[in-house]
Amino acid sequence: MGGALVPRLVENRIQFPYKRSLGPVFGAFMTGLVERKILGIRNGSRVLAPPLEWDPQTGEELALDLVEVGPAGTVTNWTWVPAPSEQHPLDRPFAFAMITLDGADNSMLHAVDAGSMDAMSVGMRVAPRWAAERTGRINDIACFVPGEDPEIPAGDTGQAPEEPVTMMEYNASILYRNPVSENAERSFEAGVEKRLLGQQCPVCGRIYAGGRGYCPIDAVELTTEHDIDLPQRGVVSNYTIVTPVQYPGQTETEPFARVMVRLDGVDVVLGFQILIDVPVENIHPGIRVAAMWASEAEREDYGAGRSTIAGLVGWIPTGEPDDTNPDLLNKVL
């Protein structure tokens, strides 16, 4: 017997650059890591490590009185990670642990490379494994390892950086893996064939664009027998003009528009569509449009990652007179 159909997964990554100034406390802490030193800050009779700028109980600013702690410490709590993802600090099973460094009165969170869950325990002693290249970030401590002695790369002298660490920069990112349903696959394949796929509910008769797979009104599953081809002409019923924020990595520099296209003859509106060859100042409801598809040579550039419908470049004005129906903006689906 054949196995169950495994849905295709589509990967999408959200990433943005992050940059901040560290200030005198965190700057000193990060500079210390480059030198293989872990610094805490005095808060009355207590020492907080990693250091804080403010008393966590009163909110009062702490005096810049830094003191070296550790490097070894004691595990006070832990949890095991049996299957690390690419977002984790290690590529093998490890523990996240709360570690109270020698000379500190609070605990810091870090990874412990213990080898197995059985090796972990509350009260165990751990020490840093220092990264071979340190730039002034918390992962300059690659992880902690069981024992009293830090692991130091061969030839590492712990020399101070030429300049103190004052800024922190990195690309924050998260990867999503989403399953693609059979209905969505059919919708994608229809786009490859330059068709707009819809589905019609057999109970209420409502028509939905793409591979929805169900009618939310009647809770009816929609399958291949409910597939229909949607019209490829319509009218702009509404629009939004986007003024790009010029953050690092932004590719758009000029204002652009995304439009709502109401398809002819059916109560279906396609949202966030690209309108071609119309300056943003000339966009208005009522423009008659038709679907424009990528050529075979362009098809790869207009796949699932570029458009909600494979191969659909956008919508281009037909040159027909505007739709002046007064109910265009007010019609309720």
Per-residue pLDDT of the chain in tens (333 residues, 90 and over written 9): 445 555 678 888 887 778 889 999 999 999 999 999 999 999 999 999 999 999 988 989 999 999 999 999 999 999 999 999 888 999 999 999 999 999 999 999 999 999 999 999 999 999 999 999 998 899 999 999 999 999 998 888 777 788 889 898 877 888 888 888 888 888 888 888 899 999 999 999 999 988 788 899 999 999 889 999 999 999 999 999 998 887 766 777 889 999 999 999 998 999 999 999 999 999 999 999 999 998 876 666 555 444 457 789 999 999 999 998 887 776 555
Same domain? 185 vs 252: no
At 1 the pLDDT is 44
Residue 196's domain comprises 181-230
Co-location of 20 and 152 in the same domain: yes
Distance between CA atoms of 150 and 71, rounded to whole angstroms?
7
What is the DSSP secondary structure assignment for residue 226, as one 8-state letter?
A: G
Q: Burial of 217 by CB count in 10 Å (0-12 exposed, 13-18 middle, 19+ buried)?
A: exposed
Using DSSP's 3-state secondary structure scheme, residue 10 falls into strand
| Helix (H) or strand (E) segment spanning residue 101 | strand 94-101
Tell whether 241 and 289 lie within a shared domain. yes
| Cβ-based neighbours of 320, under 8 Å, separated by 6 or more | 288
In a domain, 6, yes or no: no
Please state the pTM of the whole predicted model.
Answer: 0.59
- 8 located within any domain: no
- 140 plus 265 within the same structural domain: no
4 within domain boundaries: no
> Which residues sit opposite 12 in a β-bridge?
176
Same domain, 185 and 160: no
Does 191 lie in the same domain as 160?
no
For residue 272, is it within any domain? yes
Distance CA 280, CA 292 (A): 19
Grouping H, G, I as helix, E, B as strand and the rest as coil, residue 155 is coil
User: 270 in a domain, yes or no?
Assistant: yes
Does residue 311 share a domain with residue 213?
no
Q: Which of 173, 189, 217 is the last residue of a domain?
A: 173
- What's the pLDDT at 317? 96
DSSP string, 269-321: EEEEEPBPS--GGG--TT-EEEEEE--TTTGGGGSTTT-SSTTEEEEEE--PP
DSSP state of 14: E
pLDDT at 7: 63
Q: Looking at the structure, do residues 141 and 244 belong to the same domain, yes or no?
A: no
Same domain, 33 and 116: yes
Q: Please, which residues bridge with residue 167 across strands?
A: 21
* pLDDT score at 321: 94
Q: Is residue 7 part of a domain?
A: no
The closest alpha carbon to 143, from 128, 163, 153, 123, belongs to 128
- Report how far residue 49's alpha carbon sits from residue 43's, in angstroms, rounded to the nearest whole number: 10
Do 124 and 270 sit in the same domain of this protein? no
- 220 with 316, same domain: the answer is no
- Going 31 to 37 to 38 to 41, the CA torsion angle's sign is negative
What Å distances lie between residue 165 and 29, 148, 155, 249, 305, CA to CA?
Answer: 9, 28, 22, 24, 38
Total structural domains in the chain?
A: 3
CA distance 7 to 124: 44
Helix, strand or coil, per DSSP, at residue 94: strand
Phi/psi for 58 (5° steps) reads -105, -20
**Nearest partner of 211 among 222, 220, 203, 201, judged by Cα:** 222
